[in-house]
């Protein structure tokens, strides 16, 4: 059995990050960000437009095409108190696409700001959407951990919940930027290839890509494919426990088409992942395949990847075989895509199965994302972060990028 990382002390994954090193805004031209190249233990520097030069022709690169939704809704009570309702994930219906199409009622799991001022009764807001005057009400239901069940209702069947968020929602930029959302964020905090609505945070490694970089990758003969993982607010949740055993990973919803599973098999289950969200999805696929290898009749619920599953299950199934098991599952059920969820935590002690190279930004100290990077570079994360701090790299969501090849 491999080493279980539950007893890793998060304090060992700290580094000094002065506020002035956190990029508050993106560069005017996305692909002019700096690119740290880490190969086989050595760090060097280039510009992001040079990325294709470092990847082998014929390789497979996987992107997360999730789109950030304008998930923050503000209501003002008659007392003047401002209540923020932050939509985290759909409950009724619990499918993102169906929920966005609702025309009278939608229920979401939400975080509520200024909760103590919302004692009882619904919140109301008058608004005009697509030329229709409507009244949106929010009613608070049961508490689930730090979140609440919220029922939204509105009085016009011509208006969808997606329309309401589009017009009156606010884009939730990361809390560590310490600033309000600006109009420019609506464009700059989305990847140029974002398509499938559902995230409350951008897959930020993708923010550096432009059409010219994507074209250059294609010209190099690199296969570009997309999957979907909807990023939850839990991605910003700090590790509060001394040991990571006490940290509960948030559930994230993934969707991977049959054609991508086939493409991964054709590439011998090897891929370059753009961003930690793509990493978590690709590595979760392996563990879903292991579940199906052990239990071909597994239900959709049983395919959910639990937080510690990779460390508690024998993983002697070859990655290509694991992917073939998923393909068989899709074929048996006549499905074109795998829809499931993951809570995977990737930390030192984890054995990567599919991801062979990674494009990623620089992450917060003592975060689960830093643990994921450390596992990938065999504990050598200090080399990367010391280099970035010493060479004037910009950090976090709007910061610079890195290409990691262990």
User: What residue spans define the domains of the chain?
Assistant: 5-67+187-404, 71-170
In this prediction, residue 78 carries a pLDDT of 87
Q: How far apart are CA 301 and CA 41, in angstroms?
A: 40
Residue 123, SS3 per DSSP: strand
Calculate helix-pair angle for 258-266, 319-332, nearest 10 degrees: 150
In this prediction, residue 233 carries a pLDDT of 76
CATH tag, 5-67+187-404: 3.40.1780.10
In this prediction, residue 224 carries a pLDDT of 98
User: Residue 401 is inside which H or E element, if any?
Assistant: strand 401-405
Q: What is the 3-state secondary structure (H, E, C) of 35-96?
A: EEEEECCEEEEEEHHHHHHHCCCCCEEEEECEEECCCEEEEECCCCCEEEEEEEEEEECCCH
In this prediction, residue 175 carries a pLDDT of 86
Q: 177 near 397, Cβ under 8 Å?
A: yes
Nearest Cα neighbor of 65 from 227, 275, 189 is 227
Phi, psi at residue 22, to the nearest 5°? Answer: -85, 120
In this prediction, residue 2 carries a pLDDT of 54
Nearest Cα neighbor of 112 from 141, 73, 86, 140 is 86
CA distances from 58 to 218, 223, 224, 404 (A): 10, 7, 10, 18
Residue 177, SS3 per DSSP: helix
Q: What is the mean pLDDT of each run of 10 residues along the chain (406 residues)?
A: 80 96 96 97 98 98 97 93 94 93 96 92 94 96 92 96 94 91 95 95 96 98 97 80 92 94 98 97 98 94 96 91 98 96 96 98 96 97 98 97 98
- CA trace torsion 71, 77, 80, 81 (10° rounding): -50
Query: Residue 271 CB: number of other CB atoms within 10 A?
Result: 24
Q: 151 near 125, Cβ under 8 Å?
A: no
């Amino acid at each position: 059995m491999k080493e279980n990382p539950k007893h890793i002390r998060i304090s060992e994954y700290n580094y000094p990050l002065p506020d002035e090193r956190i990029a508050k805004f993106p560069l005017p031209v996305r692909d002019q960000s700096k690119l740290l190249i880490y190969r086989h233990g050595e760090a060097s520097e280039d510009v992001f437009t040079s990325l294709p030069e470092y990847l082998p022709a014929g390789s497979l690169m996987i992107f997360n095409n999730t789109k950030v939704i304008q998930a923050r809704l503000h209501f003002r009570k008659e007392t003047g108190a401002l209540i923020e309702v932050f939509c985290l994930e759909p409950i009724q219906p619990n499918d993102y696409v169906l929920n966005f199409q609702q025309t009278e009622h939608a229920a979401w799991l939400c975080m509520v700001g200024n909760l103590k001022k919302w004692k009882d009764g619904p919140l109301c807001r008058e608004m005009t959407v697509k030329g229709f005057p409507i009244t949106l009400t929010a009613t608070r239901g049961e508490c689930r951990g730090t979140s609440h069940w919220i029922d939204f209702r509105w009085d016009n069947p011509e208006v969808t919940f997606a329309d309401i968020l589009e017009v009156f929602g606010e884009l939730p930029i990361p809390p560590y930027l310490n600033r309000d959302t600006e109009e420019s964020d609506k464009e700059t905090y989305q990847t140029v290839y974002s398509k499938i609505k559902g995230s409350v945070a951008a897959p930020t490694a993708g923010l550096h890509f432009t059409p010219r970089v994507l074209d250059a990758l294609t010209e190099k003969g690199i296969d570009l494919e997309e999957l979907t993982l909807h990023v939850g607010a839990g991605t910003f949740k700090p590790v509060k426990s001394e040991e990571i055993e006490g940290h509960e990973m948030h559930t994230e919803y993934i969707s991977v088409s049959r054609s991508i599973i086939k493409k991964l098999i054709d590439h011998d289950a090897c891929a370059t992942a753009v961003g930690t969200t793509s990493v978590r999805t690709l590595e979760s696929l392996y563990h879903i395949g292991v579940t199906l290898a052990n239990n071909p009749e597994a239900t959709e619920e049983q395919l959910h990847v639990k937080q510690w599953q990779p460390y508690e299950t024998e993983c002697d199934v070859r990655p290509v075989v694991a992917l073939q098991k998923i393909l068989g599952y899709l074929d048996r059920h006549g499905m074109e895509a795998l829809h499931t969820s993951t809570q995977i935590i990737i930390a030192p002690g984890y054995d990567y199965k599919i991801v062979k190279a990674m494009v990623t930004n620089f992450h917060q100290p003592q975060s689960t994302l830093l643990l994921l990077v450390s596992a990938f570079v065999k504990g050598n994360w200090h080399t990367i972060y010391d280099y970035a701090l010493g060479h004037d790299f910009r950090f976090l969501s709007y910061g610079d990028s890195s290409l990691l090849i262990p």
